[in-house]
Chains A and B, each alone.
Chain A
Amino acid sequence: MTSWIAIAPVLVAIVTGTVALLVRNWPRLQRAIAVSGTVVYAAVVGYLSWRVVFAADAGGILYQLGGLEAPFGIVLVADELSAFMLAITAIVAVYAVVFSVQFIDEQNQRVYYYPLFQFLLLGATGATLTGDLFNLFVWFEVMLMASYVFVAFYGNAQHTAAAVRYVVLNIVGSALMLLGIGGLYATTGTLNMADMAVQLSAPGAVTEPVVGLSALVFVTFSLKAGLAPFQFWVPSAYRAAPLPIVAVFAGATKKVGIYAIIRLYFTVFGDADVSATVPAVAGDTALAFLAPALLLMGLASILVGGFGAVSRDSLEELLAYSSIGQIGFIAVAVGIAAATTAGELRHLGIFAALIFALHHAVSKGLLFLSTGVIQDIAGTTKLSELGGLGDRSPVFASVFLVGGLSLVGIPPLAGFFGKLFVFDAATRQFAAATGDTTATAAAVLTLGVLFLGAVLTILYATRAWIETFWGSQSEAIRAGVVHDGQIAVLATLALVVLAIGVGFEPVYQFADAASDAALDTDGYIEIVGLGGETG
């Protein structure tokens, strides 16, 4: 099915961004346009999701840029997986922009804040929708360019230093991605992802180079996702960027890295027979080579993030490290899916990763925005200078509590289902490994680290809660002004976190369809219109 609706989110973001740029001399108008543009974006994503997943004639939607057919033209593909990621992005974006209006001071809002916000959104949207590998690179650059400026946004010593490191790292990452893409083009003779899947599974195709080349692309994706050992840019960048943007970084742009891994490895390389001789790794698909690397990186992220978060002394850094750990949970779920050959467990792994990604986006978004509120009240986020905020604003305390409990995984909040399915996948992996010593050891290690990660989460969430809200009121808290408007916005987000947990049925259906789509290579090829030609 070809329809313009697949490109609509991209158009909304680009038009809003450009118009916001044109009206920069009228701050109020600019603000109104930015907020309403983001709401329209969310509405369009909602409609797209309905058309793709829930409607009677639901199915993936294709848009051919310039009317050129794949594999020659660039296509945008909105399938269930893309729609799910877009839905996550849309929720976070709406809250971030509404919160920005109240949080970012007037002077700073005038420094291209809203146009950049829209371009960040544009990059994330394009990367999720594109069906062309080089086009994915371009969307990544669009997203990165906006994020560079946001990291350097406040422009002081700390921010510029963080931005320099972030920029250097990501430009090197982009060069690596180009190497991978160039190599894949030379190997398969195409850049279209669906066509690539067709070429790789064609009889007699040369596939050995794919193992190494996809590793180069994988490095770039995990750099974007902030997986250990590529996590070191995360804390300083998160500390430097404005807090509503950090919510978008943690909620949306990091997830684009995870999305790209799932899309490329499961949808495109999934079925292809790729064999190469790599020491210590046996396997004949790209996924078999991905699995050990991704599992180890995920487990390392959980440990680095968990221990890092426990030992930080400011709320922002604590949450930044927590983000690294939580991305680790997602990566482990994807890794489990890659390691197994059983269809059911693979489906469960992807499903768990998607549910966890949604939970992390809303819960962590809520916590980062709450940190913004605390920053506004106390002028600092240092835990030692906070305390007694529960007395000042009980409503805000309960909002923060919802975010914290969701992070820990208390039912019926969103985080409960995230953790549940990740642990479910890990225990099933353990159950499936009976008789195989290496596999059992790996499964036990995975379960052990997941458990440790969950304990560490409880530890740092409790610490953040106690030091900020309990005890006697600190100097900074007593003198501060509580902004009711900001808290009202966050209260609705807390309700969203609750609603995802309570009304889980449609979310389940959506994520289930998305994981089906992630694993259905033939379906993806079908949508792009290449089915039955060579495959």
Chain B
Amino acid sequence: MTLAVAATVGALFALGTFLLLRDDLVKVVWGLAIISQAANVYLIGMGGIVEGTSETVPVLATHHAPFPETVDPVVQALVLTAIVISFGMTAFALTLSYRAYQENESINVTEWKQ
């Protein structure tokens, strides 16, 4: 499981970095969104994905083993916050991109005169 998370994080960062370096502003915004998500998946990995016990998850005390592998609840809270923030950022970046496209008359950032 850890390996899968690590591979996903790597792939997402690679894709995000690739898109971030494009000329097309829309692709750059895609890159930002993907990098933000990569950071979120990384946070999940950092919390560790382990089998729950009644020590860490009190509600499991009344249930029977085997328990599924779960993610640390603290990082879940962090990721939830980070998702909301990156959602807002992406929405803002898209709006800003549209206005920048209108004003600079090109979606290609290398053609901007400013």
Contact (Cβ within 8 A) A168 B99? no
Given contacts A171-B36, A175-B36, contact A164 B96 (CB under 8 A): yes
Contact (Cβ within 8 A) A182 B46? yes
Given contacts A155-B103, A191-B74, contact A167 B113 (CB under 8 A): no
Given contacts A163-B100, A167-B93, contact A157 B47 (CB under 8 A): no
Partner among B82, B86, B92, B103 whose Cβ is within 8 Å of the Cβ of A160? B103
Partner among A148, A168, A186, A236 whose Cβ is within 8 Å of the Cβ of B46? A186
Contact (Cβ within 8 A) B97 A164? yes
Contact (Cβ within 8 A) A155 B32? no
Given contacts A178-B39, A179-B39, contact A163 B96 (CB under 8 A): yes
CA A156 to CA B100, docked complex, whole Å: 8
Which residues of B in the span 14-55 have a Cβ within 8 Å of any Cβ on A? 20, 25, 28, 32, 35-36, 38-40, 42-43, 46-48
Contact (Cβ within 8 A) B114 A155? no
Residues on B with beta carbons closer than 8 Å to the beta carbon of A281: none
Residues on B with beta carbons closer than 8 Å to the beta carbon of A138: 81, 85
- Cβ of B71 under 8 Å from chain A: no
B95-114 vs A, Cβ < 8 Å mask (1 yes, 0 no): 01101100110000100111
A150-163 vs B, Cβ < 8 Å mask (1 yes, 0 no): 00100111101111
* A interface, size bucket: 20 to 34
Residues on A with beta carbons closer than 8 Å to the beta carbon of B39: 175, 178-179, 182
Partner among A145, A152, A163, A186 whose Cβ is within 8 Å of the Cβ of B47? A186
Residues on A with beta carbons closer than 8 Å to the beta carbon of B93: 167-168, 171
Contact (Cβ within 8 A) B109 A171? no
Closest to A176 in B: B39
Residues on A with beta carbons closer than 8 Å to the beta carbon of B48: 186
Which residues of B in the span 47-74 have a Cβ within 8 Å of any Cβ on A? 47-48, 74
Which residues of A in the span 123-182 have a Cβ within 8 Å of any Cβ on B? 134, 138, 141, 145, 148-149, 152, 155-158, 160-164, 167-168, 171-172, 174-175, 178-179, 181-182
Partner among A145, A161, A182, A191 whose Cβ is within 8 Å of the Cβ of B92? A145
- Cβ of B78 under 8 Å from chain A: yes
CA A236 to CA B112, docked complex, whole Å: 14
Residues on A with beta carbons closer than 8 Å to the beta carbon of B89: 141, 145, 167, 171, 174
A515 to chain B, nearest CB (A): 32
- Cβ of A54 under 8 Å from chain B: no
Residues on B with beta carbons closer than 8 Å to the beta carbon of A171: 32, 35-36, 86, 89, 93
Contact (Cβ within 8 A) B20 A168? yes
Contact (Cβ within 8 A) A157 B103? yes
CA A297 to CA B103, docked complex, whole Å: 35
Contact (Cβ within 8 A) B46 A183? yes
Contact (Cβ within 8 A) A160 B32? no
- Cβ of A430 under 8 Å from chain B: no
* B interface, size bucket: 35 or more
Contact (Cβ within 8 A) B96 A167? yes
Contact (Cβ within 8 A) A172 B20? yes
- Cβ of A112 under 8 Å from chain B: no
Contact (Cβ within 8 A) A157 B113? yes
Contact (Cβ within 8 A) A172 B32? yes
- Cβ of A185 under 8 Å from chain B: yes
Given contacts A157-B104, A168-B32, contact A182 B85 (CB under 8 A): no
Contact (Cβ within 8 A) B100 A145? no
Residues on A with beta carbons closer than 8 Å to the beta carbon of B82: 178
Residues on B with beta carbons closer than 8 Å to the beta carbon of A172: 20, 32, 35
A534 to chain B, nearest CB (A): 19
CA A88 to CA B82, docked complex, whole Å: 29
Closest to A151 in B: B96
Contact (Cβ within 8 A) B42 A161? no
Contact (Cβ within 8 A) A160 B100? yes
Contact (Cβ within 8 A) B35 A175? yes
Contact (Cβ within 8 A) B74 A164? no
CA A394 to CA B85, docked complex, whole Å: 49
Enumerate the 10 nearest inter-chain pairs by beta-carbon distance, A residue then B residue, closest first. Answer: A160-B100, A182-B46, A161-B114, A186-B46, A178-B39, A157-B103, A182-B43, A175-B39, A158-B114, A171-B32
A residues sitting closer than 8 Å to B (CB atoms) are 134, 138, 141, 145, 148-149, 152, 155-158, 160-164, 167-168, 171-172, 174-175, 178-179, 181-183, 185-186, 191, 236
Given contacts A171-B89, A171-B93, 16 further A-B contacts (CB under 8 A): A138-B85, A148-B92, A148-B96, A152-B99, A156-B103, A158-B114, A160-B100, A161-B104, A164-B109, A168-B28, A171-B36, A175-B35, A175-B39, A178-B39, A182-B42, A185-B74
What are 26 A-B interface contacts by the 8 Å CB criterion? A138-B81, A141-B85, A152-B99, A155-B99, A157-B103, A157-B104, A157-B112, A160-B96, A160-B103, A160-B104, A161-B114, A164-B109, A167-B89, A167-B92, A168-B93, A171-B35, A171-B36, A175-B38, A178-B42, A179-B39, A182-B39, A182-B46, A185-B47, A185-B74, A186-B48, A236-B114
